[in-house]
Amino acid sequence: MVNPSTSAGQGRANTATLRKLLVVACVMFGFGFAMVPFYQKLCEVTGLNSVVKRDSVTNTQVDTSRSLTMEFDTNIRSDLPWTFRPLERTVRFHPGELVQVEFEVRNNSDRVLTAQAIPSWGPQVAGRHFRKLDCFCFTQQTLQPGEVRRMPVVFVVETTLPGDVTYVTMSYTFFQVEGRNGAAG
C-alpha cells in the first residue's frame, strides 16, 4: 500500500524541483538576453568584431581653399566613324578631391571597330599632378555596329599642383587600332 504522506512529500519535492528548474531557466534566459548589449559594448570598446561596422572614410588631403575647373575636349581621328563626347563639358572641384566623369562613344558604322583613346592636357604642368584611377584610355575599346557605350574616368588632381593653375583642359583623341577592323573582341 502507498503511504499518502510519502506521496504528498514527493509531490511537494517535485513541485519545488520544477520551480527551481523554472527559476534557473528564467535566470539563464535573462543572462543570455543581457549578454547581447554587454558583448556589443565590449566589442565597441576593444575594437573586436569591427568587420561588421561601416568605415567612415574622409579625405583629409582635399585643399578646400582653392578650386579648379576642368574642361573636357574630345576628338576622333578622321578615319574613325565614331562620335565621342563628355556627358559634362566642365567640372569644378578642389585639388585632392576624387572626381568621376563619364564620356559617351558611339560606333556609327556597320562593322565592328576597335580604337584606343590617347589623353593629353593643358597646361602641361597639370599632367605631373593628374592621377587617373580608372580610365577607358587604359584599354582598347571594341564597339559593335551602332553600339553606344558610357565610359567613366575617375581621377584626382594632387594638391601639389601650382597655385596659379586654376583651369585645366583634358583632351582625349580616339585612334583606330590597325589590324582590329571587323574583329570581335
Give the pLDDT band of residue 99 (cuts 50, 70, 90).
very high
pLDDT at res. 9: 63
Q: Same domain, yes or no, for 76 and 37?
A: no
My answer on whether 26 and 99 are in the same domain is: no
**For residue 60, is pLDDT > 90?**
no
Q: How high is the pLDDT of residue 79? A: 86
Domain contains 184: no
Q: Are residues 150 and 84 in the same domain?
A: yes
The mean pLDDT value for 76-90 works out to 93
Q: What is the pLDDT of residues 160-178, one digit of tens each?
A: 889 999 999 999 999 998 7
72 lies in the same domain as 45: no
Looking at the DSSP bridge assignments, the partners of residue 32 are none
Q: What DSSP line would sit under 67-91, residue for residue?
A: -EEEEEEEEE-TT--EEEEESSSEE
User: Does 156 map to a domain?
Assistant: yes
* Residue 129, in any domain of the structure: yes
| pLDDT more than 70, % of the chain | 76
Domain coverage including residue 169: 68-176
What CATH number should be reported for the domain holding residue 136? Answer: 2.60.370.10
Same domain, 78 and 135: yes
Domain count, the chain: 2
How far, in Å, CA of 82 to CA of 47, rounded?
54
**pLDDT mean across residues, the chain:** 82
What pTM was estimated for this model as a whole?
0.63
Task: Work out the average pLDDT over 19-47.
Answer: 72
pLDDT score recorded for residue 5: 57
The Cα 159–Cα 155 span in angstroms is: 13
In a domain, 119, yes or no: yes
Is residue 28, in this structure, part of any structural domain at all? yes
Cβ partners under 8 Å of residue 148, min gap 6: 104, 105, 106, 107
- Among 174, 167, 172, smallest CA distance to 90 is for 167
Asked whether residue 148 falls in the same domain as residue 92, the answer is yes
